[in-house]
Amino acid sequence: MTVRVTDFALIIGHVWRCTACRAALLAEPASTWVGFKLSDEQRACIAAMDDDDFRTITHLANLTGLTTQEIDSAIDHPRARLRHLGSVKGNVRPGVTW
């Protein structure tokens, strides 16, 4: 059974592992989070992030307000593992390889 994971956590979980999507998210957050339901606070949090914020899951949890368990669940969630950010069904972000 898959645990319910918020869109915010899915983004954070995906970019924990996928450095290409992390670079895209940090460079152009507004075009990368399209299709995800995020609050203004979550968008502001992402927009303020840099690569150093991904040094540990504990640091990332403190920064985002998510728990380490929520981030771990998101990292392992099928949607976070199988879908790149900014991609549309059948269309992959340029430069991102599977």
| Residues 61-75 pLDDT 10s | 999 999 999 999 999
Q: What is the mean pLDDT of the chain?
A: 84
Asked, for residue 90, whether it belongs to a domain, the answer is no
Asked, for residue 95, whether it belongs to a domain, the answer is no
The number of domains in the chain is 1
User: Which whole number is the average pLDDT over 52-56?
Assistant: 94
* pLDDT range class, residue 91, cuts 50, 70, 90: very low
Read off the pLDDT of residues 28-51 as tens digits, 9 standing for 90 and up.
Answer: 998 888 888 999 999 999 999 999
Range of the domain at 58: 7-82
User: What is the distance between the alpha carbons of residues 72 and 65, in angstroms, rounded to a whole number?
Assistant: 14
CB proximity list for 48: less than 8 A, separation 6 or greater:
none
Find the Cα–Cα–Cα–Cα dihedral 47, 57, 10, 29, rounded to 10°. Answer: 20
* pLDDT range class, residue 98, cuts 50, 70, 90: very low
Burial of 3 (0-12, 13-18, 19+ CB in 10 A): exposed
Asked, for residue 1, whether it belongs to a domain, the answer is no
User: What is the distance between the alpha carbons of residues 87 and 85, in angstroms, rounded to a whole number?
Assistant: 5
**How much is the pTM?**
0.80
